[in-house]
């Protein structure tokens, strides 16, 4: 589904990613971790076909990135960015409109949207203005919207950053059950290893724009002294202690990579 061979990304002569090798097969669940400036969000942008690599080879769904990507191919994946950007209008519209844009009839789009809102505990808020939602509600709405279109590949950038501690575990459990049921391929960026233990089977560790470690999620944590040493912001110790996660990266989205800081 995703094949990266020596992939790099440079902006205005500055290298953000270099020499990334990664193979994500259909149905696999991968986590990407690394300190601020590691290049995580840039890698997600590459996998989402939002920017082309400037070095190496990247193919998604068998098509090389960097060329003209048909809309039908782009619609096989969904992305949830950390900033949780929502559409104007109601909560229901946020989930139904992407379905309508894919040719789903209005009544069927509404039915599907309501089903996904119910799954994420948002059906009672369907008529509310999306902009009025709390951070946790926005996070759930973004996940509902991304999953409603039944993507083959789901890309998530810190999807739980705004979710309070009491709601985090149930939301992880719900998301994992959906991904497993639908056979969705998952790539998840997180600063919190608990997210990765709950949702992923493999982890790629980035530092300084390069891949420095990888392996099965639980096994990698078992040798966590090496992993935690990469996180001067306290990522490892906070996650291990079970306390609140550290401050997350600045809001991500379709942004000017010159201001991205190599995340």
Question: Residue 57: its pLDDT value, please?
Answer: 96
pLDDT, residue 238, reads: 36
The answer to whether residue 190 is domain-embedded is yes
Banded pLDDT at 250 (limits 50, 70, 90): very low
Q: What is the predicted pLDDT for the residue at 230?
A: 64
The answer to whether residue 120 sits within a structural domain is no
Question: Does residue 137 lie within any of the structural domains?
Answer: yes
What mean pLDDT is predicted for residues 213-237? 72
Q: Among 94-103, 117-126, 195-204, 222-231, which stretch is predicted with the lowest mean pLDDT?
A: 222-231
d(CA 204, CA 79): 18
H helices of 23-164, in order, are 40-47, 71-74, 91-101, 106-119, 135-148
Helix (H, G, I), strand (E, B) or coil at 63: strand
What DSSP string describes 147-210?
HHT--SEEEEESTTTTS-HHHHHHHHHHHHHHHHHHT-EEEEE-S-HHHHHHH-SEEEEEETTE
Q: Is the pLDDT of residue 236 over 70?
A: no
Provide φ and ψ at 192, rounded to 5°: -110, 115
Percent of the chain with pLDDT over 70: 86
Tell me how far apart the alpha carbons of residues 178 and 180 are, in angstroms, rounded to a whole number. 5
Structure confidence at residue 43 (pLDDT): 97
Residue 130 confidence (pLDDT) above 90: yes
Strand bridging mode 14-24 / 63-64: unpaired
Look at residue 233 in the predicted model and tell me its pLDDT: 58
Residue 35's domain is classified under what CATH number?
3.40.50.300
Please report the sign of the dihedral spanned by the C-alpha atoms of residue 207, residue 201, residue 188, residue 133: negative
Mean pLDDT calculated for residue range 30-58? 94
Does 172 reside within a domain? yes
Pick the residue with more confidence: 216 or 69?
A: 216
- State the CB neighbour count (10 A cutoff) for residue 245: 21
Tell me whether residue 245 is in a domain. Answer: yes
Instruction: Find out whether 30 and 188 touch, Cβ atoms under 8 Å.
Output: yes
Q: Cα separation of 194 and 204, whole Å?
A: 15
Query: Which tens digits make up the pLDDT trace of 93-107?
Result: 999 999 999 999 999
Tokens of 101: 């844009």
Which tens digit of pLDDT belongs to each residue from 151-204? 999 999 999 988 988 899 999 999 999 999 999 999 999 988 889 999 999 999
In this prediction, residues 58-81 reach a mean pLDDT of 91
> How many folded domains does the chain comprise?
1
Q: Is residue 125 part of a domain?
A: no
96 burial via Cβ count (<10 Å: 0-12, 13-18, 19+): buried
Give the distance, in angstroms, between the CA of residue 247 and the centroid of all CA atoms in the same chain.
Answer: 17
pTM over 0.75: yes
Domain assignment present for 122: no
Give the helix/strand (H/E) hosting 124: none
pLDDT at 84: 72
For the chain, the residue count is 263
Residue matched to tokens 């992939």: 7
116 belongs to a structural domain: no
**Inter-residue contact 153 to 2 (CB < 8 Å):** yes
Structural domain span for residue 164: 2-45+52-86+133-259
Return the higher-pLDDT residue of 232 and 187.
187
């Amino acid at each position: 589904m995703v094949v990266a061979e020596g992939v790099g990304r440079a902006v205005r002569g500055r290298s953000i990613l270099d020499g990334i090798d990664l193979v994500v097969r259909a149905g696999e669940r991968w986590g990407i971790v690394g300190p601020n400036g590691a290049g995580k969000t840039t890698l997600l942008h590459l996998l989402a076909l939002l920017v082309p690599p400037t070095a190496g080879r990247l193919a998604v769904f068998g098509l090389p990135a960097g060329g003209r990507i048909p809309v039908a191919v782009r619609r096989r994946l969904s992305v949830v960015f950390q900033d949780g950007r929502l559409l104007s209008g109601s909560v229901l519209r946020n989930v139904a409109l992407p379905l309508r844009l894919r040719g789903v009839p209005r009544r069927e789009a509404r039915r599907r949207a309501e089903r996904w809102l119910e799954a994420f505990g948002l059906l009672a808020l369907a008529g509310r203005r999306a902009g009025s939602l709390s951070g946790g509600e926005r996070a759930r709405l973004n996940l509902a919207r991304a999953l409603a279109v039944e993507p083959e590949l789901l890309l998530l950038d810190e999807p739980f950053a705004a979710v309070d501690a009491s709601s985090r575990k149930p939301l992880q459990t719900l998301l994992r059950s959906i991904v497993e049921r639908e056979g969705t391929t998952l790539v998840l960026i997180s600063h919190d290893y608990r997210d990765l233990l709950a949702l992923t089977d493999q982890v790629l560790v980035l530092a300084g724009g390069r891949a420095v470690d990888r392996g099965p999620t639980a096994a990698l944590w078992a040798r966590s002294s090496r992993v935690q040493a990469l996180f001067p912001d306290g990522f490892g110790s906070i996650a291990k202690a079970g306390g609140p996660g550290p401050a997350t990266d600045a809001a991500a989205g379709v942004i000017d990579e010159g201001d991205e800081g190599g995340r």
